[in-house]
Amino acid sequence: MKARTTTALFPFLALVLASAIGEAAEYVPGRVIVQLTAAAHAGPDFRGDLGLQGRTGLKDLDDRLAAIGAARVAPALRFAPAGDSEPARRLRRYLRIEYAGAADPADVAAQLRSSPDLQHAEPEGVLRAAAIPNDPLFPEQWAHRNTGQAVAYDSTLVGIPDCDGDTDLAWDLTVGSPAIIIAVIDSGIDRTHPEFAGRLVPGYDFCNDDGDPSDDHGHGTACAGIAAAAGHNAQGVAGVAWGARIMPVKVLGHDNNGTVGWLASGIVWAVDQGARILSISIGAYHFSIVEDAVAYAHAAGRPMFCSAGNRNSSGLSYPAGYTAYTIAVGALSPCNERKSLTSCDGEDWWGSNHGSTMLLAPGVRIHTTDITGEDGYTPDDYTATFRGTSAAAPYAAGVGALVLSLNPALTPNELKQRLQGSCEDMGEFGADPETGFGRLNAHLAVLSAFTMPTYVNAAYTGQEWGTLHRPYNTLEEGVFWAPIGGTVVVFGGRYTEALTIGKQLTILGKNGIAEVGP
């Protein structure tokens, strides 16, 4: 289960700074927070009673405070803590400094930082609520946050809580960038749907050979909604990467059929027109022209997310089967299992193809966009039962868009490795023929945007400082605790204490590869 309570050292677990990756930092005007050194705080010159004069009694620091026009110095915490966690982190030494004028808090902090009386100086950051969208159907989208709310084919509720992609946690870091264009190569897109307003780029219809890739079936609109329907717009659903843009490429007609020539043309055209990611929810047999087209896209640096197929068999449909070039995506049920004939969703007439090279993403009983009006799957502009590896591929494409929004320099192979390494293992350790690399985790994927996940043997002893979400723990440098088993997310820095090995853990670095030692 996800832990959403804050802790003293990790307030960003439920509230995040506006300076989250990919966004500009935001600070409270006229304020900085500093921490006195232990010597300065305990020395005879420090005087808390001078705070209303904007001074501390410490000469070097007071000279700097005078230079910035400091008006008030006060304890940073409203109430003094009952105790201290460790000497280097004593919260009683933190002070809030308020100053007059419009000087940038970051510049002011930089001026103060070199004072020998200070251990830290930083702007007071603005907190924003975590990026949970207000879309009315979001609570029903088990793919983002699974609480056991999925409605099975027999209308019963099913699902294992936390069997989801943790996209709601990934959104705290990024919701996607408009610089990332996802080409949805499918039956087109309903370009009038409000979920895509302002985020569609010109597309093409290869079925009718014109520039109007409107959807006359519904499949493409549903796939586009999974990948990138608008989030936090108070209507409908939230897509995975709602900050990304969408390129509609129509290669399937009103009967949801097309030709390999159209598919190959669509892939090449999307690459040449600037698509950054290709989502292909199409299954076929091997055709050389399609293989050469995906090789072209791969060489151009365009990751391709392809549906594994819906025959419930081992082996992958094509183009997913061109595994040297593509990222194959199978379907996950709400009950932490590969979608099969017997999975908990009750749809006993189909199952996801499988193999050790794929990853799994939500692919059954999916809420997404539909053609508006009477011509879609439903008359409600949204559908609650979209299914297939067709649904899983655009979900994974959306996760890929989130990662590239943070680190657009990644090659297709680098992105693929990060996504595979971020999966939550479901079967035997490592990739296996039944569940591949496991359940795709958007949150761990975006944490890995700049660092390859590294599998090491590790178990920590010591004190737990904060919980990111179970069974994962976020540790700062110098903190040496984690449960035996599971996955640990660490920040850059060298961990020098000896580690007791319990079982295989995944160590994910953020902002630099973390070294585990000695």
Domains of the chain: 16-128 (3.30.70), 138-447 (3.40.50.200), 454-516 (no CATH)
Q: Judge whether residue 98 has pLDDT over 70.
A: yes
Q: What is the pLDDT of residue 444?
A: 83
In this structure, of 7-16, 97-106, 306-315, 371-380, the range with the lowest mean pLDDT score is 7-16
480 vs 453, more confident: 453
What is the DSSP annotation of 34-93? EEE-HHHHHSTT--GGGGGGT--S-HHHHHHHHHHTEEEEEESSSS--SS-S-GGG-GGG
Q: What is the pLDDT of residue 145?
A: 92
Q: What is the pLDDT of residue 500?
A: 39
Q: Alpha-carbon distance 140 to 383, whole Å?
A: 11
The tokens for 420 are 């595979």
pLDDT band at 453 (very low <50, low <70, confident <90, very high): low
In contact, 272 and 248? CB cutoff 8 Å: no
Q: What is the pLDDT of residue 447?
A: 79
2 vs 477, more confident: 477
**pLDDT, average across residues 144-151:** 94
**pLDDT, average across residues 91-105:** 89
Q: What is the pLDDT of residue 192?
A: 96
Q: Alpha-carbon distance 4 to 172, whole Å?
A: 12
Q: Judge whether residue 5 has pLDDT over 70.
A: no
In contact, 422 and 414? CB cutoff 8 Å: no
Q: What is the pLDDT of residue 93?
A: 87
Q: What is the pLDDT of residue 84?
A: 63
The tokens for 418 are 């990060």
pLDDT digits (tens, 9 = 90+) for 239-287: 999 999 999 999 999 999 999 999 999 999 999 999 999 999 998 889 9
Average pLDDT of the chain to the nearest whole number? 82
Q: What is the pLDDT of residue 8?
A: 20
**pLDDT, average across residues 151-165:** 94
- E strand intervals along 296-388: 304-307, 327-332, 359-362, 366-369, 382-386
pLDDT digits (tens, 9 = 90+) for 25-72: 578 889 999 999 989 998 999 998 999 999 999 999 999 999 999 999
pLDDT digits (tens, 9 = 90+) for 304-335: 999 999 999 999 999 999 999 999 999 999 99
Q: What is the pLDDT of residue 470?
A: 27
Q: What is the pLDDT of residue 375?
A: 85
Q: How far is CA 470 from CA 2, 336, 479, in A?
A: 6, 16, 17
514 vs 199, more confident: 199
Q: Which residue has the tokens 């209507």?
A: 235
Q: Judge whether residue 181 has pLDDT over 60.
A: yes
**pLDDT, average across residues 452-463:** 41
Q: State what percent of residues in the chain have pLDDT above 70.
A: 79
Question: How are beta strands 487-491 and 366-369 bridged, if at all?
Answer: unpaired
pLDDT band at 92 (very low <50, low <70, confident <90, very high): confident
Catalytic residues: 186, 219, 390
Say which amino acid occupies 227: A
